[in-house]
Amino acid sequence: MAKPVRRLPVQKDWPTWAIVAVQVSILLTVVAGWEIGVRAGFINGFFWSQPTAIWKTTKIFFTEGDAWTDISFTFRSTIFGFLIGTTAGSLFGLSFWWSRNYAAVAQPYIICFESIPKLALAPLIILVFGLGLTSKVAIATALTLVVSTLTTYAGVKALDPDGEKLFYSLGATRWQVFRKLVVPFCLPWVISVLRVNIGLALTGAIVGEFIASQHGLGRQILYAGQTYDIALVWVAVFVLSTLAIIMYAAVSWLESLLRKGTRQ
């Protein structure tokens, strides 16, 4: 007799409201435990601060401090670095399709630049471009440029040569092959790196603000740490995390929109 086939247990997905309720419950439990731990003496309030002190500092930060100036500065440097690095890197990667010799010559330099820790070059970039927005954009661009270049180039190398031959056999010019075949084929590769690049751009902007800056959430965190204002450190970190989530969600929406366009 044939053995009966065992059915795998079907896992039921929780409704959205239940997932949100669990997430909020975990957050409230952590915050309450943090506050109780500090008041009871189990947690050192000097090193870790406490939620009530953080809340008071948050109100001061947004009513009396330069909160919106710092947020705007970090946001602009991140977005500019993300757009410049992603666009320039994608175009650079696509340009390798035009000449294999050009790609062979340029590839070792790109790999070398990728292996260099760009954050180590941040002090030099600050010296060259100054303390303003330009230096932060330059660092963010440096972190995103090579990733976009290598990812797009990987798409170029994955292109089917038979597809190119078919286009040429139908009388297409080299520019038409590039525009009608190469770019649409590589577009999913470009899209796949968007979420990675927004995180790298934010990292570059914050590192630039750590080294030297007149504004920014990174400068605020550095200042608060130097003055042992731990509550302000947490406020800046939470604001930075919120900003990162918003930008990541926006880029994810853009990615889904672009992917939907490539399928049509």
Asked if the model's pLDDT at residue 9 lies above 80, the reply is no
Give this prediction's pTM: 0.85
The pLDDT assigned to 16 comes to: 84
CB-based contact 236:221 (threshold 8 Å): yes
pLDDT tens, position by position, 22-43: 999 999 999 999 999 999 988 8
> Which of 152, 141, 247 shows the shortest CA–CA distance to 192?
152
The pLDDT assigned to 80 comes to: 95
**Whole-number CA gyration radius for the chain:** 25
Q: Which of 177-213 are b and which e, b meaning 16 or more Cβ less than 10 Å from the residue's Cβ?
A: bbeebbeebbbebbbebbeebbbbbbbbbbbbbbbbb
pLDDT tens, position by position, 174-200: 898 888 888 888 988 988 888 899 999
CATH class, domain 62-263, is mainly alpha
The pLDDT assigned to 13 comes to: 79
Region 246-255: mean pLDDT is 88
pLDDT tens, position by position, 109-163: 888 887 877 777 888 888 888 888 898 999 999 889 989 998 999 888 888 888 8
Q: Is the dihedral of CA 128, 131, 137, 143 positive or negative?
A: positive
134 vs 76: CA distance, rounded Å: 10
171 vs 230: CA distance, rounded Å: 68
- pLDDT band, residue 172 (cuts 50/70/90): confident
Asked if the model's pLDDT at residue 255 lies above 90, the reply is no
CB-based contact 192:151 (threshold 8 Å): yes
The pLDDT assigned to 144 comes to: 92
What percent of the chain is predicted at pLDDT more than 90?
A: 34
Asked if the model's pLDDT at residue 5 lies above 80, the reply is no
The pLDDT assigned to 33 comes to: 93
Eight-class DSSP state of 173: -
Contacts of 146 (CB under 8 A, 6+ apart): 89, 110, 113, 114
The pLDDT assigned to 10 comes to: 64
